[in-house]
Structure 1
Amino acid sequence: MPAVLPGLLQRFDVPGPRYTSYPTVDRFVEAFTAVDYEQALTQRRDRASVATLPLSLYVHIPFCESLCYYCACNKIITKHHSRSAGYLRYLGREIGLHTAQLGQGQSVTQLHLGGGTPTFLSDDELGELMAMLRRSFTLAAGGEYSIEVDPRTVDAGRLRSLSDLGFNRLSFGVQDFDPEVQKAVHRIQPFAQVKELMALARELAFDSINVDLIYGLPLQTPESFARTLAQVLQLRPDRIALYAYAHLPERFKPQRRIHPADLPGAAAKLAMLAQSLEAFGDAGYVYIGMDHFALPGDALAVAKRQGRLHRNFQGYSTQPDCDLIGLGVSAIGRIGASYSQNAKTMDEYCDHLDQGRLPVVRGLALNRDDLARRAVIMALMCQGQVIFESIEQAWLLDFRSYFTTELDQLRELADAGLVVLDASGIEVTAQGWFFVRAVAMVFDRYLQADRHRTNFSRII
């Protein structure tokens, strides 16, 4: 990946969505209710080919014992582990309402537990959750079953328990190994601790181990982050997720504890990104796109080579066009041509379930234009190219006519060297991958209409 020219940074380092969905979550409306969601579930059940349709599950566990100042997740900070037992009962009710609509035993090929801190739950509670899921769904052999792990909450015994429960993928939240940075974000976890856990996970033969990193945190410098990168490469995880820190204290209260003066500037953040790309490339990692890297033999890298890569609400995925059921507080799902989100507070979530209703409080039914634009944006984000003919055949439109305005806007990006336009399609250049979100934004009808972008993080 080439270095980014300073002029490009000034022109294109703008706020924009990460496009884990299109339309983006901020476009969801309360007019989409649990009734609409139930209808989408019924339509899935009644589809003749439902047995062959892939299904993914996401379960949100909101609890954390301590607060990480950078966090933008929906979480509940508590040291009272008794709260999780009640939450599991409500998850059981929500699962039951889904099977009432879908029927028992639908095949699941992908499961992800996120949070919060899923390992806040005890081993017995995780076992209870997995048993509930297995009673209602069929977890397919060879599926991807992953869990986010806070290294501070697990030991050798807990890793063995996770393996015994059927999890075959782990994601360790690392963020940074520098002690001063860890103090600044209130998350202390020494390198030696993570190294030991990684070695144990290898012994237990998990299929894939991911490490999450964040650049742009307080007190980070290119020099300190270079040391973190070297330590991560010692661990040699199968996947690496590298995120830019988005400082939005007006939206996320915990971030108000971070002093803006401690944050690295755009040039330093760009240097950290560039050195990460170089270090991971030299170590043999495949650049999946935007913020994900994987070793060549990992399923994510294989999907990239085979053109099967997709993005969902957890980032890049190996399963294209996959229905996703979101379970738990604030969980987001996708069924057919609709998105949905559960209530964001525990009280509201439980209140819906106490009344025998699914806890969906907002969402969106996608129209034909949304679906066509989603196909274009996902092709850019996942494959770095759009073939006009494939979009035309899938959506029965003339690309140059339908997207005349967008193609005119892309010419500025083409002149800047971010994309190549020709008669057959659009291709993102090596330089353009730094700004692929800006390329996708051109096709975002909602964003182009109102230009309100301050709610999003900056691209770099």
Structure 2
Amino acid sequence: MCTLISKYNVAGPRYTSYPTVPYWDTYHFSLKAWRGTLQDSFRESNTNEGISVYIHLPFCESMCTFCGCNKRITKNHDVEVPYIKSVIKEFSMYRELFNEKPIIKQLHLGGGTPTFFSPEHLDRLLSGIFSIGRKAENCELSFEGHPNNTTKQHLATLASHNFTRVCYGVQDYNEGVQKAINRVQPFEKVYSATFQARKEGYTSVGHDIIYGLPFQTQDDVINTITKTIELLPDRIAFYSYAHVPWMKGNGQRGFKEQDLPSPKQKRKQYEIGKRMLTKAGYVEIGMDHFALKTDPLYEAQQKGTIHRNFMGYNASKTQVMIGLGVSAISDSWYSFAQNVKNIEEYQKLVDDGILPVFRGHILTGEDLIVRKHILNLMCDFETSWEDPSLYFPELPDVLIKLKELSNDGLLEIHSKKIKVTRKGRPFVRNICLPFDMRLQRKKPETQLFSMTV
């Protein structure tokens, strides 16, 4: 395994979309084209499938140095109401594009820190959103919670809107590691937040854990996983820390490269964590994710209905995803659109009645085919071209590039499909790379992505 890590530890996308953002063709993108593909996709899917809504709430009271999200550090809570007004107005602008009221099948509050907002203001936000779109009968509503500031009132308010899922950012329980990443939260806080969520009726509580953090050791990972298993969250995201200080400003410059575990040490952290989780009854779902067999994500895996988009892994798919708020990305399946990243610019555009989109990409026919293959690999660890519509001219070249990974036992190549082996699952990003036509045709001159292993 160590030899494979050295061989395949290269920079590569995490494939929450295809094409990946650095390879969007922004020159041929326009708001008119975006609106058109969105309206077409909505007509195709809303009645039977509904839409997903992602709301980006960017404010945090302090900077976590491992984080790559778009955020604004402030202790001024006067920013809450003006921002909420803008988000609700933005969604009303999208409603005007549709021929009927959108059915909201999924909604996720991300950040930033969603629980920076008071329970009263979150109630105002959600009441406004659900007055514009109606909830599906079995809607999936979730939010990202900070264990230090998610209160009983937050949980109760969101539960009153039918929220059933919360994901807490845990990262690591070692105090030295927590100080390095500026995210100090004792086990007791996580225990309390997890217990309170279940008491309020949340049926899926998730924990995010990160390996490869500065000063983190194998013993730290063992300790964190042991404590996590005590609480038995329904889902666990066990992420690799992505060290990309050139992209994320000064936040990741508070420690040096030599403070990080080596790739070999990092992989050992993952392998031992995975063994512990599997022994405790968790099942590996897609890349970096684990779930108990009682969780809907496991059930979706068994049914083959898992979907991956900018909100991560989901138990079901919608063709349309509307991203609201600063920097949020929307997906019509046929195109992507990203909002401006500056809060003041975002609010000004919305106040002026202009969709706050600053860039996007209209998918070509080839993009749509490749997107499907990469989605299959990331969700199901296999893909097929038995359906002639999923064949594309460069596929034979892709299979040639995959031959070496096959020789290393990372995947099986059949006449009309490929299947990732258990040994190959940690390398699924590498297996997707040959399919990435845009990256293959134009290799980046500088490092754009985190390392794959």
TM range (shorter): over 0.9
Question: Aligned pair 1:82/2:78, yes or no?
Answer: yes
Of 448, 457, 460, which residue of structure 1 is paired with 2:450? 457
Distance 1:162 1:407, change over 3 A: same
Structure 2 residue identity aligned to 1:438 = N
Task: Name the structure 2 match of 1:130.
Answer: 126
1:287 alignment partner, SS class? strand
> Are the equivalent residues in 2 in contact too, given 1:105–1:135 (CA < 8 A)?
no
Structure 1 residue identity aligned to 2:187 = F
Distance 1:388 1:53, change over 3 A: same
Taking the aligned partners of 2:281 and 2:309, their CA distance within structure 1 comes to 25
State the 1:12 CA deviation: 0.6
State the 1:259 CA deviation: 2.6
> Are the equivalent residues in 2 in contact too, given 1:104–1:137 (CA < 8 A)?
no
Query: 1:29-428 alignment to 2 at 5 Å?
Result: 29-31=25-27, 32-47=29-44, 50-103=46-99, 105-253=101-249, 254-390=251-387, 392=388, 394-395=389-390, 397=391, 402-428=394-420
Superimposed CA distance per residue, residues 267-326 of structure 1 (whole angstroms, 9 cap, x where no aligned partner): 110011001110110011110021110001211111111111111112111223531000
Moved over 4 A (4+): none
Structure 2 residue identity aligned to 1:21 = S
Taking the aligned partners of 1:322 and 1:41, their CA distance within structure 2 comes to 10
Distance 1:195 1:290, change over 3 A: same
Taking the aligned partners of 2:421 and 2:37, their CA distance within structure 1 comes to 38
Structure 2 residue identity aligned to 1:413 = L
Taking the aligned partners of 2:449 and 2:90, their CA distance within structure 1 comes to 31
List alignment gaps of at least 5 residues for structure 1.
none
1:8 alignment partner, SS class? helix
Structure 1 residue identity aligned to 2:2 = P
Superimposed CA distance per residue, residues 326-374 of structure 1 (whole angstroms, 9 cap, x where no aligned partner): 0000000101411110001112212321321100111111011001111
Taking the aligned partners of 2:216 and 2:97, their CA distance within structure 1 comes to 49
2:331 alignment partner, SS class? strand
> Are the equivalent residues in 1 in contact too, given 2:49–2:318 (CA < 8 A)?
no
Distance 1:320 1:252, change over 3 A: same
Taking the aligned partners of 1:336 and 1:232, their CA distance within structure 2 comes to 36
2:97 alignment partner, SS class? helix
Cα RMSD (Å): 1.5
TM-score by length of 1: 0.95
Structure 1 residue identity aligned to 2:202 = F
State the 1:40 CA deviation: 2.4
Task: Name the structure 2 match of 1:435.
Answer: 427
State the 1:260 CA deviation: 2.3
Distance 1:440 1:165, change over 3 A: same
> Are the equivalent residues in 2 in contact too, given 1:64–1:76 (CA < 8 A)?
yes
> Are the equivalent residues in 2 in contact too, given 1:60–1:115 (CA < 8 A)?
yes
> Are the equivalent residues in 1 in contact too, given 2:143–2:166 (CA < 8 A)?
yes
Taking the aligned partners of 1:364 and 1:183, their CA distance within structure 2 comes to 39
Task: Name the structure 2 match of 1:445.
Answer: 437
State the 1:36 CA deviation: 2.3
State the 1:46 CA deviation: 4.4
TM-score by length of 2: 0.96
Taking the aligned partners of 2:352 and 2:126, their CA distance within structure 1 comes to 25
State the 1:137 CA deviation: 0.3
Q: Percent identity?
A: 38
Worse-matched range after superposition: 34-43 or 322-331: 34-43
State the 1:380 CA deviation: 1.0
Worse-matched range after superposition: 61-70 or 148-157: 148-157
Taking the aligned partners of 1:245 and 1:336, their CA distance within structure 2 comes to 29
State the 1:197 CA deviation: 1.6
Task: Name the structure 2 match of 1:8.
Answer: 4
Superimposed CA distance per residue, residues 396-419 of structure 1 (whole angstroms, 9 cap, x where no aligned partner): x4x6x5411101111111111111
State the 1:29 CA deviation: 4.1
> Are the equivalent residues in 2 in contact too, given 1:34–1:357 (CA < 8 A)?
no
Taking the aligned partners of 1:321 and 1:104, their CA distance within structure 2 comes to 17
Taking the aligned partners of 1:90 and 1:310, their CA distance within structure 2 comes to 29
Taking the aligned partners of 1:237 and 1:412, their CA distance within structure 2 comes to 38
State the 1:459 CA deviation: 1.1
State the 1:264 CA deviation: 1.0
Taking the aligned partners of 2:170 and 2:364, their CA distance within structure 1 comes to 39
